[in-house]
Amino acid sequence: MNKALTDVLDRVQSWPEDAQAELEHVALEIEAELRQRTYPATSEELAGIQRGLEAAERGQFATHEEVEAVLAKYPRT
């Protein structure tokens, strides 16, 4: 483990609970990807997936223009 990572992990204990939970979530995603196994989605993520599936079943999709408007907000590399 490199020094920068070791240092930040030492400081994590002083972070607020919500920031620690977010780091845990990201670390579990990375670990799942590295192990090439199924990621254990949270209840909030599962609810979002369900909302998306239901919207798709109703034919509610973003238009090309709506997608382009969102993408325009972020620089492309």
**Percent of the chain with pLDDT strictly greater than 90:** 74
Average pLDDT over residues 26-53: 89
Given a cut of 80, is residue 54 above it in pLDDT? Answer: yes
- What are the residue ranges of helices labelled H in 1-77? 3-11, 17-35, 43-57, 64-71
Domain boundaries, the chain: 1-40, 42-77
Given a cut of 90, is residue 15 above it in pLDDT? Answer: yes
